[in-house]
């Protein structure tokens, strides 16, 4: 059986490395450090789930989220926001733009596993 494909998008090397270490044994994980490369990479990889940092230097994660949700190849792909922003306005904005989940940094093994369990390909969506 083919491993679930996970795309991690973010320019925070600590967060990306943390998630990679948590998921790499059980999933096919690819990281993209720069926001402008992410749409082309996602079209090529066809990930089953995307972890997306909000605060990046090249492009805002919310803008990338909008692009994912307007792209036919990623429209139905679960996108999980990863951020240090914990305010209700940020959470509501992510939901309005189509985010499927919202994780506050630092990411723990437990929260990553819960998300992956929730969004397995055979798991019924909402």
How do residues 8-17 score in pLDDT, each as one tens digit?
A: 998 888 888 8
- For position 123, what pLDDT does the model report? 46
Q: Is the pTM of this model over 0.95?
A: no
CATH code for 5-119?
3.40.50.2300
Q: Which residues contact 38 (CB under 8 A, 6 or more apart)?
A: 7, 9, 32, 64
Domain ranges across the chain: 5-119
Quick check: helix, strand or coil at residue 2? coil
């Amino acid at each position: 059986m083919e491993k679930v494909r996970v795309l991690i998008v973010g320019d925070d090397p600590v967060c990306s490395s943390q998630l990679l270490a948590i998921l790499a044994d059980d999933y096919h994980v690819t990281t993209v450090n720069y926001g402008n490369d992410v749409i082309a990479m996602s079209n090529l990889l066809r990930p089953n789930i995307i972890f997306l940092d909000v605060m990046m230097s090249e492009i805002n994660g919310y803008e990338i989220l909008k692009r994912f949700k307007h792209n036919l190849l990623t429209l139905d792909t679960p996108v999980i926001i990863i951020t240090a922003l914990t305010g209700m306005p940020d959470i509501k904005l992510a939901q309005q733009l189509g985010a499927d989940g919202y994780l506050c940094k630092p990411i723990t093994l437990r929260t990553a596993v819960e998300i992956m369990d929730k969004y397995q390909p055979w798991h019924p969506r909402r």
